[in-house]
A = this chain, B = another copy of it.
């Protein structure tokens, strides 16, 4: 008999409409919700009567440990993440904490997928990732910068459409500049670049530009940057990667 359950729940981009039915159902079944302050706010209307544990950015491990404790007390616990629970989300950390926990067999864990930023931003830009694509986070909080740059080099060489997550923050304002210098070695200046800020939120903005005109200074931590591949073009304000259909 399990003592408790943890749902790691992907909330999608931030609006209620882009949440899945399972995400709603999982939240409803929880006695406890744990998450980064902003994501907890996002589901405030669903959180009435539940114990709410908010934590700031960078406190992922604390959040994870509290979720395990609360589950061992017999609760159903929802760990809420923006986007998908598994893409730069809490699913990995929760499973890693569980793996090493003496009472792990007392806790069941289910990962509820969600709309990750590459998908939500692409839907607003047009269809830029309709062929092979990759995601790269420019945050070196967990990954050495050299490793990130190697990934970016290979993504460019392989002609992947690239979704840059965490493209810029106050703590590392110059990383996006360096990253785009790498991209410029491989892709021509007319390559379309899409910048979506706060996708599906109140102050959403969508900009489509080209590699030569792209200004990293226009990007902040609320943005996702999508860089086209050799088959990406812009038509009537939409960013489209051609798959080569005979029309």
Enumerate chain A interface residues (CB-CB to B < 8 A): 10, 12, 16-22, 24-25, 60-61, 84-89, 91-93, 95-100, 104, 111-116, 119-120, 122-124, 126-137, 142-143, 147-148, 150-151, 153-155, 157-160, 235-236, 238, 240-247
Distance between A239 CB and nearest chain B CB, rounded to angstroms: 9
CA distance A22 to B58 in the complex (A): 31
Are A127's CB and B111's CB within 8 A? yes
Measured between beta carbons, the chain B residues less than 8 angstroms from A129 are: 86-87
Q: Taking the nearest CB of chain B, how far is it from the CB of A1, in angstroms?
A: 18
Known: A119-B113, A120-B113, A246-B61. A136 touches B132 (CB 8 A): yes
| Additional pairs, 16, CB under 8 Å, beyond known A92-B242, A96-B245, A142-B244 | A17-B20, A18-B21, A19-B21, A21-B21, A86-B123, A86-B128, A86-B130, A88-B131, A95-B127, A96-B242, A96-B247, A113-B123, A132-B151, A147-B159, A151-B159, A154-B154
Q: Which residues of B contact A122 (CB under 8 A)?
A: 86-87, 111, 113
Instruction: Evaluate contact between A142 and B243: CB separation under 8 angstroms.
Output: yes
For A120, list chain B residues within 8 Å (CB): 113
Which of A119, A128, A154, A242 is the most central at the interface, judged by chain B CB atoms within 10 Å of its CB?
A: A119
Q: How far is the CB of A233 from chain B (nearest CB, A)?
A: 9
Known: A87-B130, A119-B116, A142-B245. A240 touches B154 (CB 8 A): no
Taking the closest CB of chain B, its distance from the CB of A207, in whole angstroms, is 17
Q: Return chain B residues, CB-CB under 8 Å to A151.
A: 132, 158-160
Q: How far is the CA of A10 from the CA of B22 in the complex (A)?
A: 16
The residue that A113 contacts in the complex, of B115, B160, B241, with Cβ under 8 A, is: B115
Nearest CB of chain B from residue A166's CB, rounded to whole Å: 11
> Within the assembled complex, what's the spacing in Å between the Cα atoms of A93 and B60?
40
Pair A20/B22 contact, Cβ less than 8 Å: no
When C-beta atoms are compared, the residue in chain B nearest to A15 turns out to be B22
In whole angstroms, what is the CA distance A123 to B81 when docked? 13
Given A22-B18, A114-B115, A127-B86; A92-B243 close (CB under 8 Å): yes
